Structures are given as structure tokens and as C-alpha cells.
Chain A
Amino acid sequence: MNMRGFIQILTRDLKVALRRWSELCNPLIFFLIVASLFPLAISPEASDLKEVGTGVLWISALLSSLLALDGLFRDDAEDGSMEQLVLSPVPLTIIIAAKILAHWLITGLPLVVIAPVIALSYYMPVDALTTLILALILATPTLSVLGAIGAALTVGLRRGGPIVGLLVLPLTGPVLIFGTLATDLAVQGESAAGPLYLLGALLALAVVLGPLATSAAVRVSLE
């Protein structure tokens, strides 16, 4: 039953998201805008862009993943369906895990797909792209889980939006460190296995513990 519940929530969330194209595109467009503003703010020289490319990519990904967080639980909480989900016989952690996975598929995966294009425009060597994609695949779900905790903590607030960043961003430090480290190593043509393994470890930790913390926060928020 738990597995069925998981899949049902997942397909439901994906369906709801796919029927709202504009909201779906917002984080992606935001990502593109942020990434294209950096050359204007720093310098359009190839050597400079090469230097900052990795950082720009990761910061843009981080910020745009924040942007999409507010919708993760808010709509469901406002129309009352979240309460029904809490009451359902499927454990809340499973439901939350399904919602986070759906959220990642909607907002995280497109970033992974589009990031190499941005990377190329920042003169990142083609050989490094595989590592970049791999690192993003491991890192963006962790960001989604961390973001879900923040979204769950603020879903009961009327003006919760701005504070999510304050809660979530400090926790993203390790992901950012190992993500950029892996990318930088790949750009220099070295093996990025170490930081990739660490990103995987962080992901495992987040996937196991994140839904627990998130569902605890959702329960309190809905009271």
C-alpha cells in the first residue's frame, strides 16, 4: 500500500505541475537570467568567465531551486488536501518523499538538462560536462530535500516566502563545496570521484533523514 501511495502522490503532483506550464518554467527562466547576468556584472572576457563559470552555475542552480520551494506544500495546505494526506493511512514520510521526488523531477531535472548549455557558454571544456551533470544529479535532490524542510517550516506562515532562504541557504554549504570541487577537478582534467562520492553520501543522508524532518514540520505547521 505504501508503494502504491507513493506512486499515486507522485503522479498526482506531476500531473498538477504539468498543467501549470508557467509556474514550471519560472525557476528555469530564473536560472537562465541569473546565469546570463553574471557576464554583464563581471566581465565578458573568456578567461574571466572560465574562472567563475563553475561558481556561477552552482549559485544560479541554488537560487533557482529556492524560487520554486514556496509552491511545494503551500497550494496543498491552502486547499485542505494536505490535511487529508496527513490523515491518510499511508505514512506521511512516504507522502512527503513522493512530493519531494515530484518536485525534483519538475524543478531539479530541467536544471540538470540545461546546465551543460550554460556551462559551454562559460567556456567549460566538453570533457568536464559529464562530471558536471553527474554532480548536479547528485546535488540537486539534496537541495530539494533541504528546501522541502524549509518549505514545511514556513508553510503555515502568511508571509513565509522570504524567510525560506534564510533557513535553507546556510545548510547548503557542504553541497556547494563538493559540487564546485567536483566540477573544478573535472575542468582541470582530474578525477572527481572523491567529491562525487561525498555528494552521493550527502544525498543518501538527506533522502533518509530529510522526509522525517519535513513531515514533522508539516504536522506542526498544519495544526
Chain B
Amino acid sequence: MNLRWFYKLASPPYFYRLAGTLGPWLGGLSIALIVAGAYGGLVLAPPDYLQGDGFRMIYVHVPSAYLGMMAYVVMATAAAIGFIWRIKLAHAVAVSAAPLGASFTFLGLVTGAIWGKPMWGTFWQWSDARLVFFLVLFFLYMGYLALREVTEDRDKADRLSAVLAVVGVINIPIIHYSVEWWTTLHQGPTITRLDGPSITMDMLAPLLVMIAGFSVFFVWLLFVRLQGEILVREQKSRWTQELMQRGRV
């Protein structure tokens, strides 16, 4: 099997150019998907029999919460790859994913609170395990960023924060299964069920489009951040100097 294309991804100049080429396409695609999903979710989908139009918060809340967790998995996986095989680019991916993941997690918490007030009658419920562990996820991001902030040497910061990121992965399955392990306010899984989703197709389709749109949006932002991160890390190498001389940065 020819893995050359894969190894090439670890080369900063190659990835920098690739991210530059793909970036605008991803940006356009994500905006198209989010607009389509929002139209489908806010206009086309029928109101919920129980929650009325209030349920439409799902189209923002679920994608952002999903990406808050997904970004952590991306970050921890990249950090582990960087730690084990000492691939610098992987560390750059982890660093770039962290603030994005923290933002999505924050968005998930805020949209959840706004949704919770009319539906559950409360912004916040300590007895709901998923809420609490999702807040813990936010703290984990903060800890990761803080540890990087206080570690002066970048190489050290990369590897120390990688250890922390990997240890924190334990929280992801806890969040995921919290609705099954503890009976709480959050409903059980509706999409990933053995007997098929328990949500009607009219409502599900826009949600899936939104999740796809948010995911592409995340990758787009990740690429933009990565380009900056790569430039900072490679500022002394020749190809970045050349880029700067040609005024391309």
C-alpha cells in the first residue's frame, strides 16, 4: 500500500499549502450546509408536539455540543500522535483545536441553558450528570490552555499538554454514557440507537445537515488556525522566509 500521501501530510510546508487550498472550499461548503440546515430546521421541519417551536434549539445545541466533544477527541488524538511519534505538525493540530473545542463547548453550555429555561424550567441542574461533566469538559480545555500558557518552552508545552489531553479523554465516554448511567433531565440517545433513530426524518435530516455543517466549519477554522500556528513554529525555516519575502503571508 502506498502511504506516501499520508506521510507528506506531516510536512509543514506541504500541509500549509494544502490547508491554504482547501480552506476556502471548506469555508464555502460549511456556510452552505449551515444555511441549508438552518432553513430546514427553522422553517421546513414541523414543530414538536410537546415542545412546539422550542425544540428548534436542537439545531444549534446538538451540533455545538457534539463538536465540543469531537474537538477534544481530535485534540487528544493529535496530541497522542505528536507525543508518541514526535510529529510536530500533530502538536500544532492539537494546539489549534483546543480553543475551538473550548468555544464549541461554551456554545453548547450556553445554548443548553437557553433551551433548558423554557423546557425544564431551569438554566442549570446540578443533578443532571451530562451537564456537570460537560462543564468539566470545559474546565479540561481551560486546564490544557493554562498549562500551555505557563510552560515557557514550546516543545515542552507540546508534550506536557499532550499527556494532560490524553488523561482527560476519560471524560468523553463519561459524557456520552452519562444519560444511560444516570437517569437525568437529558433525554437518552435518539439518533444512535440499535433500532434506528427515534426522531422523525423531517426533524432529523436538518439536524444531520447542521452537524455536518458545523463539522466542516470546525475543520475550516482548524485549517486557518493551523496555518498561523505552522507559520509561527516554522518562522526560522527557509520556506516561510521565502513566503514572507514574496509578501504572501
Q: Which residues of A contact B (CB under 8 A)?
A: 149, 153-154, 156-157, 159-160, 163, 166-167, 169-171, 173-174, 213, 216-217, 220-221, 223
Contact = CB atoms under 8 A, between A and B. Distances in A.
A148 to B, nearest CB: 11
A156 B160 CA distance: 10
- Of residues A166, A167, A173, A221, which shows the largest number of chain B Cβ atoms within 10 Å of its Cβ? A167
B132 A173 contact: yes
A170 B163 contact: no
A195 to B, nearest CB: 12
A90 B150 CA distance: 31
A149 B160 contact: no
Interface stretch (B39-47, B136-144, B233-241): B136-144
B147 A171 contact: no
A221 B140 contact: no
Interface string B127-170: 00000110010011011001100110000100110011011101
B156 A221 contact: yes
Contacts of A174: 174
B94 to A, nearest CB: 15
A153 B164 CA distance: 8
A216 B165 CA distance: 13
B170 to A, nearest CB: 7
Given A156-B156, A167-B143, A220-B156, A149 B136 contact: no
B163 A157 contact: no
B195 to A, nearest CB: 29
Given A217-B160, A220-B159, A221-B160, A171 B167 contact: yes
Chain B, interface residues (CB within 8 Å), range: 20 to 34
Contacts of B150: 154, 157, 159-160, 163
B160 A170 contact: no
Nearest to B145: A166
B166 A213 contact: yes
A213 B168 CA distance: 11
Given A153-B163, A157-B150, A163-B150, A170 B156 contact: no
Given A153-B147, A160-B150, A173-B136, A166 B164 contact: no
B147 A220 contact: no
Given A166-B146, A173-B132, A223 B139 contact: no
B12 to A, nearest CB: 22
Contacts of A167: 143, 146-147, 164
A166 B148 CA distance: 12
Interface in B61-105: 83
- Of residues A154, A169, A170, A174, which shows the largest number of chain B Cβ atoms within 10 Å of its Cβ? A170
Nearest to A157: B150
B106 to A, nearest CB: 15
- Of residues B142, B167, B170, B174, which shows the largest number of chain A Cβ atoms within 10 Å of its Cβ? B167
A223 B143 contact: no
B188 to A, nearest CB: 20
Given A171-B140, A174-B174, A216-B83, 14 more contacts: A153-B147, A153-B164, A154-B147, A156-B160, A163-B143, A166-B139, A166-B143, A167-B146, A167-B164, A171-B167, A216-B163, A217-B160, A220-B160, A223-B156
Nearest to B159: A220
A170 B146 contact: no
B168 A153 contact: no
A171 B142 contact: no
Contacts of B170: 171
A221 B83 CA distance: 13
B55 to A, nearest CB: 29
Given A156-B151, A157-B150, A169 B156 contact: no
